[in-house]
Amino acid sequence: MTAPAEACVGHVHLKVSDLDGAIGFYSGVLGFAVKQRRGTEAAFLAAGSYHHHIGLNTWESLGGTPPPPGHTGLFHSAFLYPDRKSLAQVLKRVLGAGYALTGASDHGVSEALYLNDPDGNGVELYRDRPEADWPLEADGSLAMVSKRLDVPALLAEAD
């Protein structure tokens, strides 16, 4: 059985230690709007009119700490931006809010920025290149790479 081509990841739901701190990051820095808040225990955020792309809760994690390295769990959640300028603008907000990048890569098919949210969850912010520009191997398969992304050049496109 194969998943239909239209299937996609609908949302990510994260256990957080501090709901207000997480909302500050995902809404205040990344720009997702709070669609619903359930007191001090949960919030649901989205871009545009969708019901939620991000769920945040403290049901099992209030005041908790991130898992130590070497344990299973979420590697990162990834947020797709529609174009290079949008990616540059969120980069400017991330850096302006004092968050450090943990990586920045040109994958051939996409350009990606990596950082951690306030709970230590990995976050990828990226934009895809047009499919016609994706690098291919001689046999037609994808030739994805991990090259250094020119962050200053990207940041210059924020304005």
Domain 76-159 fold is 2,3-Dihydroxybiphenyl 1,2-Dioxygenase; domain 1 (3.10.180)
Amino acid at 59: W
Query: Do 76-159 and 10-62 have the same topology in CATH?
Result: yes
**With 90 as the cut, is the pLDDT of residue 98 above it?**
yes
Q: Can you name the residues that pair with 55 across neighbouring β-strands?
A: 13, 44
CATH code, residues 10-62: 3.10.180.10
Q: For the chain, which residues make up each domain, given as ranges? A: 10-62, 76-159
Say which residue the tokens 């500050």 belong to. 24
114 CB burial (10 A radius; 0-12, 13-18, 19+): middle
Where do the DSSP E strands lie in 72-119?
A: 77-81, 101-106, 110-116
pLDDT tens per residue across span 2-34: 988 999 889 999 999 999 999 999 999 999 999
Q: Which residues pair with 125 in a beta bridge?
A: 79, 113
pLDDT at 4: 82
Query: Per-residue pLDDT tens for 118-146?
Result: 999 999 999 999 999 999 999 999 999 99
